[in-house]
Amino acid sequence: MSDTGYSPSRREARSRALRRRKLTIGIAAGAVALLLVGGGTAWAISAAQPQAAPPKVAPAVNPKPTPSPTLTPEPTPEPAPAPVYDLDSPSSITVVVNKQRPMNPIDWAPDDLVMPEGIPNVWGHPIRAEAAAALQQMYAAASDAGVPFTITSGYREYWLQKEIYDGLVAQGGVEFADRDTARPGYSEHQTGLTVDLYGNEGCQLAACFGETATGTWLRDNAYRFGYILRYHDGQQATVGYTYEPWHFRYVGVDVATAMHDQGVLNLEDFFGLPPAPTN
> Per-domain residue ranges for the chain?
113-270
- Provide long-range contacts, Cβ within 8 A and 24+ apart, for 160-166: 161/185, 161/187, 161/189, 161/190
Q: Place 279 in a pLDDT band, splitting at 50, 70 and 90.
A: confident
- pLDDT given for residue 80 in this prediction: 76
pLDDT digits (tens, 9 = 90+) for 103-119: 999 999 999 999 999 99
Poorest-pLDDT segment among 24-33, 148-157, 214-223: 24-33
Q: Which of 44-58, 86-100, 136-150 has the lowest mean pLDDT?
A: 44-58
Instruction: Give φ, ψ of 22 to 5 degrees.
Output: -65, -40
The CATH topology of domain 113-270 is: Muramoyl-pentapeptide Carboxypeptidase; domain 2 (3.30.1380)
What was the pLDDT predicted at 81? 81
Q: CA-to-CA distance for 81 and 73, rounded, in angstroms?
A: 23
State the catalytic residues.
244
Map residue 37 onto helix, strand or coil. Answer: helix
**Average pLDDT over the chain, rounded to an integer:** 84
* CA 255 remoteness from chain centre: 20
Neighbours of 175 (CB within 10 A): 9
Q: What is the pTM assigned to this prediction?
A: 0.73
